[in-house]
Amino acid sequence: MSPRTVDVLGAPEDVATGQASPVSLVVTGLRVQFGGFTAVSDASFDAHPGEVRFLIGPNGAGKTTCIDAVTGLVKGTGSAKLGDDELLGRPVHRTARLGVGRTFQTASVFEEMSVLQNLDIAAGMHRRPVALVRPRRGADPRVEAAAEQIGLAGALGQRAGTLSHGQKQWLEIGMLLVQDARVLLLDEPVAGMSHDERTATGQLLQRIAEHRAVVVVEHDMDFVRRFASRVTVLHQGAVISEGSIAQVQADPRVQEVYLGTSAGRGHEGSGSGSTTDDDEGARA
C-alpha cells in the first residue's frame, strides 16, 4: 500500500519522466490580434517557482488575452516557454498536458457535481490511462490533500453549485493542484471575496508558488501589495513597467495610466495607496 498522505504542494513531476521538475514560464514579445485589432502588442513577463508574479493593468489592457494565448485558447505570436518547451502554437489540451493550468474570471466548476466529483474529474485528466482502468480503493490521496489545502475537506459531498463564489475559485485551484500543474495562471481569483477569503487565498497562492510558477491577474491593489513578489503592468497590450510593487507604484508611467488618464480617473489606483479591501472599484 502506498502512503495515504500526499504533499500536493510538493515539487511537481514531469509527465514524461515522473521526475520532480519545477519550471519557469518565460513569455517574450507576445502579440495577439483579433482581426485587425491588436489586443496584445508586446508583452514580456516571466514567473518562477518561489515567487508570486502579478499581472496588472486597466480594463482592456490585455491581461486575460495574455493568459488565453499562453494556454492556447487564442493564437499568439512571439514566445511563451515552459522550461525548454514552446507553448505557443500548441492546441489547448497539449498545453494543459505539459502542466499549464488556468482559472477563469468566472469560475468554471461543474455546478451539478459535488466538490469530490469535480476534483476527481481533474485527477482523472492527470492519471495515466492504465491507472484509469485499475480499480481504485477509496478516495484518491491527491484529491484529499488538495481538498485540505483549499479548505474544502469538510465539503467534499457538497454540490459545487452551492459553494460561495470564493469557494468555487478555491475548487478551481484545487483542480489544478490534483492535476499537478507546474504553472498556474489565475484570472482575478479574489474578485468578490471577503477580506478573510482574500487573505486565505493569498496565503494559499504563496504556498503553491514555492514549487510552481504562479501568475495572478488582479485589480485589487491591496491584495497585490500584500502578496506580490513582482508585478508586471500592462497598458494597451504592452508592458509599461515591471518590478516590485514599490517600484511600479513609483513609476511615473504607471501613475499616468492609473491616475492621469480617463481610464483611471475616479478610481483609486496603484499610486494612491488608499485602496480598501472591500473596494471592487479598485479596478486599477
Ligand X SMILES: Nc1ncnc2c1ncn2[C@@H]1O[C@H](COP(=O)(O)OP(=O)(O)OP(=O)(O)O)[C@@H](O)[C@H]1O
Residues near Mg ion, by CB under 5 A? 64
Nearer to ligand X, 38 or 117 (CB): 38
Nearer to ligand X, 211 or 223 (CB): 223
Cell of 275: 485602496
Nearer to Mg ion, 185 or 245 (CB): 185
Nearest-approach distance from CB 105 to ligand X, in angstroms: 6
Nearest-approach distance from CB 131 to ligand X, in angstroms: 37
Per-residue burial over 103-124, b = 16 or more CB atoms within 10 Å of its CB, e = otherwise? bbeebebbeeebbbbbbbebbe
**Alpha carbon distances (Å) from 34 to 65, 74, 84, 165:** 10, 9, 28, 31
Nearest-approach distance from CB 65 to Mg ion, in angstroms: 8
Q: Give the footprint of ligand X on this chain (CB under 6 A).
A: 34, 37, 39, 57, 59-65
Nearer to Mg ion, 118 or 270 (CB): 270
Nearest-approach distance from CB 183 to ligand X, in angstroms: 18
Nearest-approach distance from CB 243 to Mg ion, in angstroms: 22
Q: Pick what 59 binds: ligand X, Mg ion, none; C-beta below 5 to 8 Å, kind-dependent.
A: ligand X
Nearer to Mg ion, 67 or 116 (CB): 67
Distance CA 19, CA 108 (A): 30
Nearer to ligand X, 45 or 160 (CB): 45
Nearest-approach distance from CB 219 to Mg ion, in angstroms: 9
Nearest-approach distance from CB 73 to Mg ion, in angstroms: 13
How would you classify the pairing of strands 230-235 and 238-243? Answer: antiparallel
**Alpha carbon distances (Å) from 172 to 85, 129, 146, 150:** 25, 23, 11, 9
Nearer to ligand X, 6 or 73 (CB): 73
Runs of H (alpha helix) within the chain: 63-70, 92-97, 115-126, 129-133, 141-149, 165-178, 195-208, 221-227, 245-249, 252-259
Q: Pick what 39 binds: ligand X, Mg ion, none; C-beta below 5 to 8 Å, kind-dependent.
A: ligand X
Closest by Cα among 198, 199, 186 to 56 = 186
Distance CA 126, CA 72 (A): 18
Distance CA 261, CA 57 (A): 13
Please compute, for residue 142, the number of CA atoms within 13 A of its CA located in the half-sphere on the CB side: 23
- Are the beta carbons of 168 and 107 closer than 8 angstroms? yes
